[in-house]
Chains A and B, each alone.
Chain A
Amino acid sequence: MTNDNEPRKEKDIALSILSRIEHEHVVPTPRSHFLLREGVVWSIGIFAVVFGALAVAGIMFTGEFSDWEYYEATHDTFFTFLIAIMPYTWIVTLVVFAVLAYEAVHRTKRGYRYPLPVLILLSVGTSIVLGASAFLMGAGPAIDMQAAKFVPFHHSLIERKLALWNKPERGIVSGTVTEIAPFGDSFTLLSPDNVLHTIRMDTLDESMREEISVGEAMRVFAPVSSRDEMAIDDESESMAMSAGQVADTTFMASEEASEGVSEEAENNSMMMKIAPEDPESPQQEEDERGVGSPNPTPFREACLVLPFDRERGREVRGDRKIFREKVSKECMKTFREDRRERVK
C-alpha cells in the first residue's frame, strides 16, 4: 500500500518500474546463480594458492640441491652462479598465482574489505606453508619432474644440472655411465650432447669410486690443463685397435699431469670405445690413434664424482668439505691454473 502523500513523480516512477518488470518478464536471478559464482571464485582462489604452494616446493627443492658447494667448479663467480641457478620458472609461477589468488578473493562477497597487502600476504603465506610442508615430506623431486613434463620452458633440476656440468672446457663433464673398464681404472660417460668421455679414476678417492656404476647419472670434476701436451702410447694403441669404429678417443696428458699418475695408468694411457658397426678406413685408424690429428681430445682424470639418483629423482647431497679437502692438491692446482688461463 502506498502513501498518498508521496510526490506524484515518485509514484509514477514506482508504477513505471513495476510495469516494466511485468511487461519485460523480469525475474530475480536465482540464488543458486550467486552461490555458484561465489563457489567458482573461491575455487579459483584455492586452486591458485595450491599451485603457488607447488611453486614454493619447487623453489625450495631447487635451492636445496643447486650444488652451492661446487659453484667454484661450475662458475667463475658466486654471482654468475646465483644468476644461473635462480628458479625463474617457479618464481614467475608463484607471482602469477599470487596475483590470481588476490583477484579471486578480492571478488568474493567480503573480499574487497581486505587491503591488497593483507590478501597477498595471506595467499603467499598459505602457499609457503603448504609448499614447505610438501617439500619436507619429500614431494620436491616429484613436483619438479612433473613440471618438466607439462610446463613449457621448464627443465627438471637434474636436466639443468647435467647441462650446467657439461662444460668440458672448464674441466667438468656430466652424463650417464655407459661402461666401466675391466680393471676398474676408468669409465665412459655419455654426455647430454651425445659425446663419449673416457675418464680415468686412478687418483680418485675410494669412497667416490664406489659411487660409480653403469647407468648412473654423474657429474665429474676432471680438469685438464690447457698447457698439457698430447702424447700417444704405442703399446696401448695396439691393444685398443681390435675392431669396429672408434666413437671417442682420449690421449694421455703431458708430463705434468702424469706426475701423480700410477705406472699402470701410464701403460694404459689410451682407451678407445669401439662400436662394431662400420669398418674402419686406414685414414680413420690414423685419426683415431691421434697420429697427425690437429686437435686430440684431452685426457681426463677424475678428481671428484657426484652421482644423481635419476630414477627416483633423488639428489645426493654434497658437502663443501668434499670439494676442498677430498679433491687432491694436484687437481685443485690444475683447476686454478685452468681458471686463470680462462679469465685471461
Chain B
Amino acid sequence: MTADVSDVEAVRLTLGNKDQFSVLVLRYESKLRRYLRRLGVRNDDDQTDLLQDIFIKTYKNLNGYDQTLQFSSWIYRIAHNEAVSHFRKRSVRPEGNSVLEGDDVVSLIASGDDLMKELTANDDGRVLGEALKHLDEKYHDIIVLRYFEGKEYEEIADILLLPIGSVATRLFRAKAKLKELLVTKLS
C-alpha cells in the first residue's frame, strides 16, 4: 500500500482494512505534532499521548467523516478539540512560544500592516512569540492556523466550526490585539 492515495481513498481503504490507517497516521503525525506544539503542548510525552488520542478518535469517527470537507480540516478539528480538552483537564494555559525555530511568520503577520512591520522589524520571533502567549485562546488559535499552519479562511472555518465571516472578524481582532501587545512589550 503506497502513500500516494488521496485522503478520501485512504479513509475508504481503512474502513475495509484497519492496517491501512497507518497511511493517514504517517501522513499527518508530524503536522499535528507541530500544530500541538504551536498550540502550547510543549512536553514530548504529552504530545505523543495527545496524538494517540487524536488518531484513535479519528479512527472511531471515520464513518462520520463528511467528504465535502477536506480531510486535513477534519483531522485538525479533532486535534484542536483534543488540545482544548487537554488544557481544560489540566487547568493550564498553553505553554511556551508558538514561534518555533525556522518559522518565518514574522513578516507574514506583518505584511500589509505598516505598524506591525515597524514593530517586528528587528524581531527574530522571540518578541512575537512572547506577545502571542498573552493573547486570548481564541485569538491565539486563529493566528496559529492562519499564519503558522497556512490555512485558508474556509479551512479555518471548518476546523473551528465558525462561519467564514466570523473567521475574518476574529482574525482582524486578533491582529489588533497582537499589535497592542507588541506595542506594550516593545515600549
Binding site for B on A (CB under 8 A): 1-3, 6-7, 10-11, 13-18, 20-22, 26-31, 33-34, 109-110, 112-115
CA distance A14 to B22 in the complex (A): 6
Q: Name the B residues within 8 Å of A3 (CB-CB).
A: 3, 26
The reply to whether the CB of B122 lies closer than 8 angstroms to some CB of chain A is: no
Q: Which residues of the partner chain B approach A31 to less than 8 Å between Cβ atoms?
A: 63-64
Query: Total A-B pairs in contact (CB under 8 Å)?
Result: 80
| Most central of A7, A26, A113 by chain B CB within 10 Å | A113
On chain B, the residues within 8 Å of A112 by CB distance are 157, 161-163
Q: Given the known A-B contacts A3-B3, A6-B26, are A30 and B162 also in contact in the complex, defined by CB atoms under 8 Å?
A: no
A34 CA / B65 CA spacing, docked (Å): 9
In the complex with contacts A17-B52, A21-B59, A113-B22 CB distance below 8 A? no
Residues of A within 8 A of B25 (CB): 10, 13-14, 17-18
- In the complex, are the beta carbons of A28 and B63 less than 8 A apart? yes
Name B residues whose Cβ lies closer than 8 Å to a Cβ of A: 1-3, 15, 18-19, 21-22, 25-26, 29-30, 48, 51-52, 55-56, 59-64, 66, 68, 157, 161-166
Given contacts A1-B1, A17-B55, A18-B18, contact A11 B163 (CB under 8 A): no
17 A-B residue pairs with Cβ-Cβ distance under 8 Å, sorted by A, are A1-B1, A10-B26, A13-B55, A14-B22, A14-B26, A17-B21, A17-B25, A17-B55, A18-B19, A18-B22, A20-B52, A21-B56, A28-B60, A29-B63, A29-B64, A33-B64, A115-B166
Instruction: Output the nearest chain B residue to A16 by Cβ-Cβ distance.
Output: B52
Q: Which residue of A lies closest to B154 (CB)?
A: A113
Instruction: Choose among A11, A16, A21 the residue that contacts B21 (Cβ–Cβ < 8 A).
Output: A21
**What's the minimum C-beta distance from B135 to chain A, rounded to whole angstroms?**
23
Q: Is the beta-carbon distance between A29 and B60 smaller than 8 angstroms? A: yes
- Shortest distance between the CB of B118 and any CB in chain A (Å): 34
A-B complex: 6 closest residue pairs judged by Cβ atoms: A34-B64, A112-B161, A31-B63, A14-B25, A115-B163, A14-B22
C-alpha spacing A7/B166, complex, angstroms: 39
Asked whether, in the complex, the Cβ of B29 is within 8 Å of the Cβ of A13, the reply is yes
